[in-house]
Amino acid sequence: MVDKVAEFLCEYEDLFPTNFTDLKRIIVDLGVMKIMLKLDVKLVKQSLYCLNLKYKEKVRVELGKMLMAIIIEHVEEYDWVSPIVVQEKKHKDEIRICVDLKNLNDVCVHDPFPTPFTDEVLENVGGQEAYSFTDGYSGCHQIKIMSEDRSKTTFMTKWGCFQYTIMPFGLKNVPTIFPRVVVAAVSVSFYILPLGIKFSLCIFILRAPY
């Protein structure tokens, strides 16, 4: 069984990207993100946060990567503006650009999509010969935002303003929209389409033979 699993994973290794440019995005029919706001909200344009000089060049490089991967796009006109916050990754030479979306999140309409109960999931896999865990590679970045809603994600930098074309981390309802799309993708893939989701990790758990 282990050899078969290893052979299977090697055959489909293209499903495990190692950088942003390998992401092909989820098939649009399976789901896109619509950012719905409460009624009569006040548009907020925040000022730029002070950026530590040691991060300046790294931020510029990271923005270039995101533009190349079409994760963000440059904008000239905007209604919402949020500032960025820089976070160091575990590898000290790398950073993560985060957007402070608190004001936008406060006026977003809540999506009540239910997440599965852990005990139900464990019951379903109990007693099976094998089961697997998958970790979506930058999962949020695989789902597009509707074009008319992208301006709400606009953020300001020293190099201009940009908006997300895909779901950014930290935006309200992302934790519910992503599993909604995954459920749809898995359901459809068994009958019609290839899964369309890129994974960074796939762990198989094999039950020892008796």
pLDDT at 104: 94
pTM (two decimals): 0.73
User: What is the Cα–Cα distance from 35 to 39, expressed in whole angstroms?
Assistant: 13
CB within 8 Å of 78: residues ≥ 6 apart: 45, 151, 154, 161, 163
CA distance 67 to 89: 20
Q: Identify the pLDDT of residue 190.
A: 45
**Helix/strand/coil for 143:** coil
Instruction: Specify the pLDDT at position 4.
Output: 76
Q: How many CA atoms lie within 13 A of 172 on its CB side?
A: 17
Q: What's the CA gap between 132 and 60, in Å, rounded? A: 38
Contact 116, 123 (CB under 8 A): no
SS3 content of the chain, % helix, strand, coil (to 5): 35, 20, 40
pLDDT value of residue 33: 87
**Torsion region of 145: left, alpha or beta (phi above 0 gives left; psi -120 to 50 gives alpha):** beta
Question: What pLDDT tens digit does each residue of the chain (210 aa) get?
Answer: 667 777 877 887 776 666 655 655 555 556 788 999 999 898 899 999 999 999 999 999 999 989 988 889 999 888 899 999 999 887 768 898 999 999 999 999 998 877 767 777 777 777 766 666 665 555 667 788 999 999 999 999 999 999 999 888 889 988 888 777 777 766 654 444 444 444 444 444 434 443
